[in-house]
DNA sequence: ATCAATCATGCACCTATTGTGCACGGTTAT
DNA sequence: ATAACCGTGCACAATAGGTGCATGATTGAT
């Protein structure tokens, strides 16, 4: 209901280039360029300036984008309230999520919605957390299930989003079956301080999480190898290249000669899984129902765990 | 920036029929019908119901319209703030007004704006007060100069508008030159209680004003004739058919054998001339400049009056 | 210093959204 | 019963808005 061109401007404000905006919104670069030019013409404001080979927002542009946050939230609020007041059904619902954990929550959600609301077309997009937020801004999706840094508070209070914690997914240690500690039930990170570690490349979400886990207990791990997929990491561990951290929700096929150990001690690293929606939309009946379903799934997962580490 | 279809819905909420909405927005009835249908489809809400040979808003529709007030105001706010922050110029500016009084204020405004902002295209629409408000809602105009009932508070605190008082235009009495009181400088309404009065038809803005003037002093006038235009009323008075009330700003050509007397006594009837804008837009530099110019014109008019009745 | 890569934009072309005009069906008032 | 009014559907037309490619400008790499 808010003009598409303003939405596009907001996406541009997030990613900085026309090309990225186009990719994110699903338009072509030409279309984005034209939209922004048209927006400036209609509003009679100069929002963009040439900057090197790209463009950047002017002060007016930044001002407008910043102020539009409350406008969007207000609209989402109104829409949600109207839907609730009128007991109406919406026709399209976009979900975003990343990683196996999110998938384990999103899949039952999509299935449940399909049964309770047959004529609602549910669309699921797999995307990493950062992109999920972009997709929310771009209004391509309405709800995202993402893994957040447990310590990271930067996105926590973003005026554009509202987030609800679903569950904390603890990290386990995986070591080769022939490792001296393989017969143990639990270990501490200190005990593995001198091991060669396997993690993802610096800059990734998981890497930050990895580092945070060790700094919490005052250990500096020696990073020996890098892997992107869980499967790869597990294979590395199985080959005896080192040890790694694996989220509880990531499945570990028994075939590969790797064992999984719980972490004890004061630092219990975990990744936090949260649901994020555009601010204001949280009162929508559809969002409410979805959050309920997600919470049920989350609780079922929690219930299946030993009571000492929830 | 707010979707045109929502604007159309808001206009419909004011006037109740598709046809009137079409006339007011400048679309054809088919287009309005299609827009509203499309709006319902996009939002997934049923906003309209068949009602006799027309349609009316559902509860959801009313809810949405009511809630959209703050949304519109928020946007106007944002736009105005951005314009101010970035020192930008807007390209189109719509003015609305009614009656000679408004015209006397709007003409200098339009002229002044044309000189200070050469590339701003100013458009003036003559329309009665009620229609002016409709045109503001429909976003056909951005500022209206209207005469308001001095007592009427119904529009006073409408969440859609913000109003600023420009001046109070006192009502004079006009009587035939050969009337016994014609040589007087001033009269009271009580002195004219038994005269045959000329006014506009019941239901009109002016009629309400007329009645209010008399009820204020506890007199019930005998309404003998009705006229729509000031010119007609003056002619009636000149022909000796009765007496009437004439706003100070309405010109009285000396040729017609009619004299104008000030009203004294505790009831000094006046019509209030106010400027109205969409709520939120009042901070816009263009609006601010316009209000300043209007105030100057108003002050010049006030300065030309005897000091006892401003 | 040249060359390749990146980015935004303009243009030609096309699609499809959106508006118009008219005819029609349903409803109310005379 | 008839006429007036109101909203809607349809065929058609206009135009806003999309894509894809070529171009120019700028930056970084060889």
B73 interaction partners in chain A (CB closer than 8 Å): none
Q: Report residue A36 as tokens.
A: 């922004």
* Whole-number Å distance between alpha carbons of A183 and A164: 38
Confidence of residue A224 (pLDDT cuts 50, 70, 90): confident
B72 pLDDT higher than 90? yes
Give the span between the Cα atoms of A41 and A71, in whole angstroms: 21
Decide if pLDDT at B191 tops 80: yes
Domain with CATH 3.40.190.10 in chain B: 89-164+273-303, 168-271
For CATH 1.10.10.10, the residue range(s) in chain B are 1-88
Residue with smallest Cα–C1' gap to C19: B31
**Residue limits of CATH 3.40.190.290 in chain A:** 91-310
A218/B27 Cα distance (integer angstroms): 70
pLDDT, residue A130, reads 84
Closest chain B residue by Cα to residue A91: B44
Calculate ∠ Cα B278-B283-B284, nearest 5°. Answer: 85
| CB contact at 8 A, A107 and A37 | no
* Residue that wins the pLDDT comparison between A195 and B266: A195
The whole-angstrom separation of Cα A276 and Cα A165 is: 9
* A45 backbone dihedrals φ, ψ, rounded to 5°: -125, 150
> What pLDDT sits at residue A58?
92
Is residue B297 over pLDDT 50? yes
Instruction: Work out the average pLDDT over B240-245.
Output: 90
**CATH classification of B168-271, choosing from 2.40.37.10, 3.60.20.10, 3.40.50.740, 3.40.190.10?**
3.40.190.10
pLDDT at B188 over 70: yes
Contact residues on chain A for B2, CB-CB shorter than 8 A: 1-3
- Domain over A1-88 is classified CATH 1.10.10.10: yes
User: A142-174 pLDDT, tens per residue?
Assistant: 999 988 765 555 556 788 999 999 988 888 999
Question: What pLDDT score was predicted for residue B153?
Answer: 52
HEC profile for chain B?
CECHHHHHHHHHHHHCCHHHHHHHHCCCHHHHHHHHHHHHHHHCCCCEEEECCEEEECHHHHHHHHHHHHHHHHHHHHHHHHHHHHCCCCCEEEEEECHHHHHHHHHHHHHHHHHHCCCCEEEEEECCHHHHHHHHHCCCCCEEEEEECCCCCCCCCCCCEEEEEEEEEEEEEEEECCCCCCCCCEECCHHHCCCEEEECCCCCHHHHHHHHHHHHHCCCCEEEEECCCHHHHHHHHHCCCCEEEEECCCCCCCCCCEEEEEECCCCCCEEEEEEEEECCHHHCHHHHHHHHHHHHHHHHHHHCCCCCCC
What does the pLDDT read at residue B112? Answer: 93
Task: Give chain D positions with protein CB within 7 A.
Answer: 4-11, 17-21, 24-27
What's the CA gap between B174 and B232, in Å, rounded? 13
Residues close to nucleic acid strand C (C-beta < 7 A): A 16-20, 29-30, 33-34, 36-37, 48, 50, 53-55; B 4, 26-31, 34-35, 38, 52-53
Is A278 or B219 the better-scoring residue by pLDDT? A278
Q: Which fold has domain B89-164+273-303?
A: D-Maltodextrin-Binding Protein; domain 2 (3.40.190)
Question: Which residue has better confidence, B12 or B206?
Answer: B12
CATH 3.40.50.2300 holds for A91-310: no
Confidence tier at B56 by pLDDT (50, 70, 90): very high
Please give the Cα distance from B276 to B282 (Å, whole number).
Answer: 9
Scanning the structure block, which residue is given the tokens 């090197």?
A: A52
């Amino acid at each position: 209901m808010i003009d598409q061109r303003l939405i596009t401007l907001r996406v541009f404000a997030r990613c900085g280039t026309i090309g990225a905006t186009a990719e994110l919104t699903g338009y072509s670069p030409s279309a984005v360029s034209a939209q922004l030019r048209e927006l400036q013409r209609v509003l009679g404001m100069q929002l963009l300036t040439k900057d090197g080979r790209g463009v950047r927002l002017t002060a007016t542009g930044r001002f407008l984008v910043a102020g539009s946050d409350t406008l969007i939230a207000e609209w989402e609020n109104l829409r949600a309230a109207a839907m609730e007041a009128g007991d109406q059904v919406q026709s399209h619902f976009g979900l975003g999520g990343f990683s196996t954990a999110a998938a384990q929550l999103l899949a039952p959600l999509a299935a449940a919605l399909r049964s309770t609301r047959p004529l609602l077309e549910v669309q699921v997009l797999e995307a990493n957390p950062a992109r999920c937020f972009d997709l929310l801004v771009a209004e391509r999706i309405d709800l995202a299930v993402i893994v957040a840094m447990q310590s990271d508070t930067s996105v926590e209070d973003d005026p554009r989003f509202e987030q609800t914690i679903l569950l904390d997914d603890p990290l386990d240690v995986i070591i080769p079956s022939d490792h001296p500690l393989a017969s143990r039930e639990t270990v501490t990170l200190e005990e593995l301080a001198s091991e060669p570690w396997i993690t993802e490349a610096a800059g990734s979400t998981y890497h930050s999480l990895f580092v945070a886990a060790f700094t919490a207990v005052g250990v500096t791990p020696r990073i020996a190898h890098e892997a992107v997929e869980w499967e790869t990491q597990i294979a590395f561990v199985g080959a005896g290249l080192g040890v790694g951290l694996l989220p509880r929700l990531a499945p570990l096929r028994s075939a590969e000669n790797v064992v999984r150990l719980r972490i004890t001690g004061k630092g219990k690293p975990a990744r936090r899984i949260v649901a994020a929606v555009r601010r204001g939309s949280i009162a929508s009946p559809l969002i409410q129902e979805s959050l309920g379903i997600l919470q049920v799934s989350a609780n079922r997962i929690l219930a299946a765990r030993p009571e000492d580490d929830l």
